[in-house]
A and B are shown apart, each in its own frame.
Chain A
Amino acid sequence: MPNATPFHPRTQALCQSYKWKDWSGYCAPCVYGMSPEREYNAIRNGAGLLDVTPLFKYDVSGKDAARFLSRVLSRDVRALKPGRMTYLCWCDDHGKVLDDGTCAHLGDGRSRLTAAAPALHWLMRHARRYDVTVADVSDEVAALALQGPTSRAILRDACGEVVDGLKFFGVATARIDGFEVVLSRTGYTGDLGYELWVDNAHALALWDALSAAGKRHNLEPVGLDALDISRVEAGFVLRGIDYTGANEALIEAQKSSPYELGLGWTVTLERDGEPFIGQAALEREKREGSAWALVGLDVDWPAIEALYAEHGLPPHVPSAAWRSMVPVYRDGRQVGRATSGTWSPTLKKNLALATVEASVSEPGTPLYLEWTVEWSRQVVPAVVTKTPFFDPPRKRA
């Protein structure tokens, strides 16, 4: 039985669809209304409010916190300043990604790590040798994502000017109605947006404050379906969908390195002091090249229309994103698989994220994606495209 998050009294009252799913042991709304379109449009044109409490959160403090985190994480976070957050991943000995997440330096030598999957055991295994305390605050800290072009205006109304100074990937503490909120300019939608972290006790008050402020700024509660569409547009990989955490892989072939996931930019190979876990393997891979690459695919829409026409059907666009492994071909040979995709209402394109052989990963490379209409498996052209597909200037402005 999944648990309820501290926002449940509100989300439950709003969720007319009764569509929920289990997200890391919590029940989370897929969609509040009948289809995710309205919620997606809120994210891109107004603002969406999403309960992201089920993320795993670990507070790391103590003299060696930064050194310890830099040993475990593939990114060197020793230089991360207080008030900054960064995106990263962490690997096993063989340089295969266990999970990706964020690390925020909250000040006073305290950092908060977020993860998609439980990481406490992994962290504790290494923490013993450092002067650090690792606290699992997953069940103590509630979190909301406020995403979309009007999110800044909402926050300004709710908690004042603090939001104006907050740069992309900045973290600050704000007060709302007398309680403290950690505010970070981050999110999983690739848009202007914020995440708010608060003690469970103040969760409902936070929801209410944001809802009230949002009335004037087109705020909608949004579910995971809308998030999924926007994260594909933003080109963000999802653990368990676009890659398998190395600790859950059943066979070697299911594991991926950061380079293979397009996360090479988060890896700090050049560093002094202790190597990070997996460093030797990643140095080797960097030198020798990776076997796979994660790419964006722009899937040819007219070709899909034609396939439907052959069956005498109108072209069908699913309103939600899909997540299943679909073969990708080049010259009749399978060169990889798409792992998730969506119709992008903003770009009016059919997008997918795919893992393909490194040799066919250059943007512009023409490939084919399997597409099934009725019972008939066909292929449609798809062109390798740089991600993010959608990257509005407001995200960083």
Chain B
Amino acid sequence: MSRENTSTVVVLGGGHNGLTAAVLLAKAGRKVVVLEARETFGGLAARETFHPGYAAPGLHHDTRGVRAALVEELGLARHGLAFRKQPTKIHLARAGSEPIVLDALHASVSGVAQAEVERFAQWRGFLGRVGPALRAALDRPAPEPAGELLPLLEAGLRVRRLGRADMLELLRILPMCAADWMRDALTDERLRAGLALPAVEGSFSGPWSAGSAANLLFREVTSGNEIEGGAAALVDALVKAAKGFGAELRHGAPVRSISLRAGRVAGVVLESGEELACDSVLATCDPKQVFLDLIGAERLPVDLAQDLERVRARGTTAVVRLALSAPLALADGTAVEALRTGESLDAIERAYDAAKYRTVASEPVLDVRVFTGKPHAPSGHSVATALVHAAAFAREGGWDDDAREKLGDDAVRVLSSACPGLEAKLVAREVLTPADLSRRYRLTGGHIHHGEHALDQLLFMRPSTATARYATPIGGLFLGGSGSHPGGGLTCAPGALAAKAWLASR
């Protein structure tokens, strides 16, 4: 056995991807140390008490993207992880009329005309047919056009096998904007907007931006069952699994720099000054931080530094967490588990425009998830987390308390119009602007996906062509967070693919 085989792999960042990588590396018998800056594990998915007695199970609420096959491979069921049997019901609030109700898998819809249900089914049918081919491409390292021919051919063949009509439709959609695609497929504007919203969250784009259709498509085809207990439950299971395989998990251990010797990883230096020698780092914090801050552009090959500088990570999403003394309910008293505002594609686009022009939407569009009762809140009480679209990380004039409070006020006002009486139930609220997200979770640009999901920043270009296959031009340095293919979201996929690339390299 070579010396390298026995040496430690440092996994940088204890978010869900870092933990996933740690589980797989430890399971394969490697010595693993996870270094997490914060006091808790899970990163953006960590459970957080934001007001005494009220905890949110992660910043995200959408757990549809977690890959069932990976949950199996990681052995998470043994640690208590379970998929939900009943998908969450998502209410698309509508002023003055009944809401549309979607299930979390976007597989069924009610509250629209019968003909629209039919159109919706047709749209789902297309997704169902192209899904397997796309999933296969998204759940393995992205083949590089200039690289090996076989994986490319395979991917191409899989698309060819869809048959002429679906293949051409797929190619037509990929560069489109979500709004045009939705308008082709559906007639109900409220439904179109409700389906399109998740595709633009955290991407510097609106439904009228080119490429947003691809985001919607990729998201839809990679969605499976949700996780019982939300993102935090996934984190709990990953922590247990990693420890079970003997990985060392250290929290409160922020890394200040990655040291190189002769172009290879030589170790990491913590902010405490502690130095850890290692010949291998699998970094799951965002790639711009990894290369430009932790190593430094002046130590990198010029082209590599330039590629990373070019990666766009302009945060547009803020978070508002509400502690409520009762469940969140619509005007008619219906308690909601999930709710999306934004009555039209244009409403979402206008909200994005604000971020595009470096301001904050005064009519933000909200994507809300509600967690009622224990363990999230005192029984009968609830926690609502809203992703607020859109607020510019680079707000002109910067972010201050006034701007933060205004954002919170606007979000509460928008939510109140769908859920009257909200203010009376409000116990406390926490507002996290993109700048707050950047500070608290160490996200470059406050970007929730560690870099935008744009057509030129996906697949073999995520985060850059030279680093898209998890290994990087820096010997011993691997990437494996949301900044890597297949990208952001609670999926476990980048972490797993990176761990496998690491293992294959030894």
Q: Are B263 and A125 in contact (CB under 8 A)?
A: no
Contact with A129, one of B263, B297, B301, B304 (Cβ below 8 angstroms): B297
Taken residue by residue from 125 to 162, chain A's Cβ proximity to chain B (1 for < 8 Å, 0 otherwise) reads as 11001100000000000000000000000000000000
Taken residue by residue from 7 to 44, chain A's Cβ proximity to chain B (1 for < 8 Å, 0 otherwise) reads as 00000000000000000000000000000000000000
B184 proximal to A (CB < 8 A): no
Which B residues are in CB contact (< 8 Å) with A277? 301-302
- Within the complex, the shortest CB–CB distance from A391 to chain B, in Å, comes to 36
A275 proximal to B (CB < 8 A): yes
Interface size class of A (residues with CB under 8 A): 10 to 19
B113 proximal to A (CB < 8 A): no
- Within the complex, the shortest CB–CB distance from A232 to chain B, in Å, comes to 33
Q: Which of A71, A125, A275 has the most CB of B within 10 A?
A: A275
Q: Are A71 and B262 in contact (CB under 8 A)?
A: no
Contact residues, B39-96 vs A (CB, 8 A): none
In the assembled complex, the Cα of A130 lies from the Cα of B303 at a distance in Å of 18
With contact pairs A125-B306, A283-B262 given, residues A274 and B301 touching in the complex (Cβ less than 8 Å): no
Q: Which of A126, A274, A280, A283 has the most CB of B within 10 A?
A: A280
B298 proximal to A (CB < 8 A): yes
B129 proximal to A (CB < 8 A): no
Nearest B residue to A277 by beta-carbon distance? B302
- Within the complex, the shortest CB–CB distance from A96 to chain B, in Å, comes to 12
Contact residues, A76-112 vs B (CB, 8 A): 92-93
Q: Are B306 and A71 in contact (CB under 8 A)?
A: no
Which A residues are in CB contact (< 8 Å) with B306? 125
Q: Are B263 and A93 in contact (CB under 8 A)?
A: no
Nearest A residue to B301 by beta-carbon distance? A93
B439 proximal to A (CB < 8 A): no
Contact with A93, one of B298, B299, B303 (Cβ below 8 angstroms): B303
Q: Are B301 and A280 in contact (CB under 8 A)?
A: yes
Contact with B263, one of A71, A126, A274, A280 (Cβ below 8 angstroms): A280
In the assembled complex, the Cα of A126 lies from the Cα of B262 at a distance in Å of 20
- Within the complex, the shortest CB–CB distance from B204 to chain A, in Å, comes to 23
Contact residues, A174-215 vs B (CB, 8 A): none
- Within the complex, the shortest CB–CB distance from A280 to chain B, in Å, comes to 4
Q: Are B262 and A280 in contact (CB under 8 A)?
A: yes
Which B residues are in CB contact (< 8 Å) with A71? 298
Taken residue by residue from 379 to 409, chain B's Cβ proximity to chain A (1 for < 8 Å, 0 otherwise) reads as 0000000000000000000000000000000
- Within the complex, the shortest CB–CB distance from B474 to chain A, in Å, comes to 10
Which B residues are in CB contact (< 8 Å) with A126? 298, 302
Nearest B residue to A281 by beta-carbon distance? B301
Q: Are A125 and B298 in contact (CB under 8 A)?
A: no
Interface residue count on the B side (C-beta < 8 Å): 11
Contact residues, B270-324 vs A (CB, 8 A): 296-299, 301-304, 306
Contact residues, A270-296 vs B (CB, 8 A): 274-275, 277, 280, 283
With contact pairs A280-B262, A280-B263, A283-B262 given, residues A274 and B302 touching in the complex (Cβ less than 8 Å): no
Which B residues are in CB contact (< 8 Å) with A274? 296, 298-299
- Within the complex, the shortest CB–CB distance from B116 to chain A, in Å, comes to 53
With contact pairs A280-B262, A280-B263, A283-B262 given, residues A275 and B299 touching in the complex (Cβ less than 8 Å): yes
- Within the complex, the shortest CB–CB distance from B67 to chain A, in Å, comes to 36
Q: Are B263 and A275 in contact (CB under 8 A)?
A: yes
Q: Which of B263, B296, B298, B306 has the most CB of A within 10 A?
A: B298
With contact pairs A275-B263, A280-B262, A283-B262 given, residues A129 and B298 touching in the complex (Cβ less than 8 Å): yes
Nearest A residue to B475 by beta-carbon distance? A280
- Within the complex, the shortest CB–CB distance from A269 to chain B, in Å, comes to 11
Nearest A residue to B306 by beta-carbon distance? A125
In the assembled complex, the Cα of A93 lies from the Cα of B303 at a distance in Å of 7
Q: Are B302 and A92 in contact (CB under 8 A)?
A: yes
In the assembled complex, the Cα of A125 lies from the Cα of B297 at a distance in Å of 11
In the assembled complex, the Cα of A274 lies from the Cα of B297 at a distance in Å of 10
Which B residues are in CB contact (< 8 Å) with A129? 297-298
- Within the complex, the shortest CB–CB distance from B347 to chain A, in Å, comes to 39
Contact with B302, one of A93, A130, A283 (Cβ below 8 angstroms): A93
- Within the complex, the shortest CB–CB distance from A306 to chain B, in Å, comes to 52
- Within the complex, the shortest CB–CB distance from A68 to chain B, in Å, comes to 9
Which A residues are in CB contact (< 8 Å) with B303? 93
Nearest A residue to B302 by beta-carbon distance? A93
In the assembled complex, the Cα of A93 lies from the Cα of B305 at a distance in Å of 11
In the assembled complex, the Cα of A129 lies from the Cα of B291 at a distance in Å of 14
Which B residues are in CB contact (< 8 Å) with A283? 262
- Within the complex, the shortest CB–CB distance from A92 to chain B, in Å, comes to 7
- Within the complex, the shortest CB–CB distance from B70 to chain A, in Å, comes to 36
In the assembled complex, the Cα of A283 lies from the Cα of B261 at a distance in Å of 13
Which B residues are in CB contact (< 8 Å) with A280? 262-263, 301
Nearest B residue to A67 by beta-carbon distance? B298
Which A residues are in CB contact (< 8 Å) with B297? 129
- Within the complex, the shortest CB–CB distance from B301 to chain A, in Å, comes to 4
Nearest A residue to B304 by beta-carbon distance? A93
- Additional A-B contacts beyond A129-B298, A275-B263 (16; CB < 8 A): A71-B298, A92-B302, A93-B301, A93-B303, A93-B304, A125-B302, A125-B306, A126-B302, A130-B298, A274-B296, A274-B298, A275-B299, A280-B262, A280-B263, A280-B301, A283-B262
Q: List 9 A-B contacts (CB under 8 A).
A: A71-B298, A93-B302, A93-B303, A125-B306, A126-B298, A126-B302, A129-B297, A129-B298, A130-B298
Chain A interface residues (CB < 8 Å from chain B):
71, 92-93, 125-126, 129-130, 274-275, 277, 280, 283
A-B pairs with the 7 shortest C-beta distances? Answer: A93-B301, A280-B263, A274-B298, A93-B302, A93-B303, A277-B302, A129-B297
